[in-house]
Amino acid sequence: MVKFLFTKYNFVTIILLIIISFANLCGNAQVNSVQQQNRQQKFNPLTSNVEDVLPPLSVLLDSTVVHAAQVNYEGLHAMRNRYEIIRARLEWTQYFGINLDGGWGNWNFNDLVNPYAANNQTYHTNTNSVRWDYAISYFVRFPLSSILKRNNEIMIAKKEVEMSLALRDQRANEARLETIRYYNSMIEAQSKMKISNEYQEYTRIQMLMADEQFRNKEIEIAEYARLKEIQIRGANDYEQYKSEFSMNYQLLEEMTGMKFNLINELK
């Protein structure tokens, strides 16, 4: 009776531990999801730094290599060349072989026999037989050219594997460099966009003052036009930097195969 109660107690304890562990996992997943949503909602490219909310650069580079089509192609090409080495090593087997021939059938023979030509006597023979025929032969060929070039073919196949692997590494380095360019260009464009946004605010206030001064005839039309030109130039610079930031952001997503979901719309 005591043993039964102890076993029952352990079973109930295990069930409770499983339920608690599952609840903790669900709670952690929900917390992580909420944190990610809050991070995405709080991110503002005009006030926050994009490198603070993106994955580390090393993670982006690794993801780029994994998703790079040229890198994957060269890896598959190297694998194909490895099979070419195996093919070159087994090519000698085609010069050794066994021939098996067999047949089964019904044979009918109708012969005209004339053993006594002088007496003009002829005989007809009709025979019928069922036969099973078979033949086994072994052949060996030694083509001198194939034997001499076998090692050369194997070495060529090995070098092709090395070339494919080297080209794969080169493609991976190119993909990493391209990702670094997009990453740095995005950060640079965001920095310029922030400065341009502050400059726009300054020119906006400046134009409000200029409007008031122009209405009060405190400044000439030429000065007013000059200030307006400065404001327009600042607005154009802001749009240009915003476009560069958005373009490099999207290119970085495509290169890494990751969707950051940080920017829904830039205003």
Locate the domains of the chain by residue range.
Answer: 49-256
Q: What percent of the chain has pLDDT over 70?
A: 75
238: pLDDT strictly greater than 70: yes
Q: What is the DSSP string of 134-181?
A: EEEEEEE---HHHHHHHHHHHHHHHHHHHHHHHHHHHHHHHHHHHHHH
CA pair distance 119, 134, nearest whole angstrom: 42
The confidence score (pLDDT) of residue 189 equals 92
Q: How far is residue 220 from each of residues 205, 207, 226, measured CA to CA in Å?
A: 18, 14, 10
32: pLDDT strictly greater than 50: no
CATH value of 49-256 in 2.70.180.20, 1.10.3720.10, 1.10.3470.10, 1.20.1600.10: 1.20.1600.10
Calculate mean pLDDT across residues 188-194: 91
Type and span of the H or E element at 216 = none
Task: Name the residue among 190, 188, 231 with its Cα closest to residue 208.
Answer: 231
Q: What percent of the chain has pLDDT over 90?
A: 13
Task: Name the residue among 53, 259, 25, 74 with its Cα closest to residue 174.
Answer: 74
**pLDDT one-digit tens code per residue, 43-81:** 788 888 888 888 899 999 999 998 888 888 888 888 888
Sorting pLDDT into bands at 50, 70 and 90, what band is 181? very high
The confidence score (pLDDT) of residue 33 equals 44
Q: Which residues contact residue 170 at a Cβ distance below 8 angstroms, ignoring those fewer than 6 apart?
A: none
Calculate mean pLDDT across residues 8-22: 53
